[in-house]
Amino acid sequence: MSESVVIAVDGPAASGKSTLARRLAAAFGLRFLDTGLLYRAVARRLLEGNRDPSDERAALEAVAALAPEDLDPDALAGERIGEAASRVAAMAAVREALLPWQRRFGRTPPGAVLAGRDIGTVVFPDATVKLFVTASLEERARRRFLELRRRGREPIFERVLDELRERDRRDCERSVAPLRVAEDAVVLDTTALDADAAFAAARQLIERELAARSADSSRSESNP
């Protein structure tokens, strides 16, 4: 595939993967893409046009009209868009239409860290390093609850927990590109780690993988 370094960071909703992936990109001098924003941006267009998030034709039109300025995380936050995004994301044709966009982004030198659900399994099966970031449902709900409070909302914990459980179910049970751990991914369970500890652990894992990769390539150069 490409010579660019591609780091896949997959995991369930509210696992902290996007924050972690952004920090990793900065640390390794790579570009960063939160692929959830693509599905959210499509969902937002559909909701604003009063369309059903499962309307495939309308969703494909929204994909074709996507522009980089549509990927503003602040405009796409919130469970209403997240829930609609998981419906959009269950349609095979929509996923297919978003693939070239993601692959082009990752292959552009020097490479990228991509956060999502299927980066290591579908988008970049030969990614340089694959991380699967997870945490218990309760811990993820707690983090999402605190984040909503920080944004000035008044969330109800039980409701946040139920919404996450439902989104996990939809992401894991869909027939196309369901959320699962790639065979060669390293699982990072952050239930008992804060953001700094998760970053330190991920960074160490990636440094080890990159060192092994460069040792391999210099061995094959000296033994052609």
Q: How far is the CB of 162 from ligand C5P (least distance, A)?
A: 15
105 near ligand C5P, rule: CB under 6 A: no
Among 50-58, 78-86, 124-132, 204-212, which window interacts with ligand C5P (CB under 6 A)?
78-86
Extended strands (E) in 86-190: 111-116, 129-134, 186-189
Nearest 5 degrees, angle CA 165-CA 166-CA 169?
A: 90
36 near ligand C5P, rule: CB under 6 A: yes
Parallel/antiparallel/unpaired status of strands 5-10 and 129-134: parallel
Q: How far is the CB of 124 from ligand C5P (least distance, A)?
A: 11
Q: Choose which of 82, 106, 111, 120 interacts with ligand C5P (CB under 6 A).
A: 82
Q: Is the Cβ–Cβ distance between 12 and 187 less than 8 Å?
A: no
Residues 115-134 that bind ligand C5P (CB under 6 A): 116-118
140 near ligand C5P, rule: CB under 6 A: no
Give the residue from 35, 44, 86, 89 showing the smallest Cα distance to 65: 44
Nearest 5 degrees, angle CA 14-CA 19-CA 23?
A: 160
CA torsion sign for 36, 38, 43, 45 is: positive
**Tokens read off for 67:** 């522009």
39 near ligand C5P, rule: CB under 6 A: yes
Q: How far is the CB of 89 from ligand C5P (least distance, A)?
A: 3
144 near ligand C5P, rule: CB under 6 A: no
- List contacts with ligand C5P (CB under 6 A): 13, 35-36, 39-40, 82, 85-86, 89, 116-118, 167, 171
